[in-house]
Amino acid sequence: MENIFSKCFVCEKEVDPETSSRNPAVNLPVCANCKGSDNEKKKEAELLEGMADGFVCGCI
């Protein structure tokens, strides 16, 4: 199984732990090249948009 924590969630290239960081919204690694880019913001929005699809709160 592939480790999603070893690749940049934006460009999907291997990340170097020394130069990469984590995106705080999705808690996934992002490389120095993609950090703060428009592509990072778009990919973050895509991931967050689909997180709640099909889930209904049971407290209602």
End-to-end CA distance of the chain: 37
Neighbours of 46 (CB within 10 A): 10
Domain that includes residue 21, residue range = 4-39
Asked, for residue 14, whether it belongs to a domain, the answer is yes
11-34, pLDDT tens digit by residue? 999 998 888 999 999 899 999 999
Asked, for residue 20, whether it belongs to a domain, the answer is yes
Asked, for residue 46, whether it belongs to a domain, the answer is no
Amino acid 48: pLDDT: 84
54 — alpha (psi -120 to 50), left (phi > 0) or beta? left
Higher pLDDT among residues 28 and 49, named by residue: 28
Number of domains into which the chain is organized: 1
Asked, for residue 30, whether it belongs to a domain, the answer is yes
Backbone angles phi, psi at 6, to 5 degrees: -105, 0
Residues whose CB falls within 8 Å of the CB of residue 26, separated by 6 or more in sequence, listed in order: 9, 44, 47, 48
Q: Which residue's entry shows tokens 């490389």?
A: 31
Asked, for residue 57, whether it belongs to a domain, the answer is no
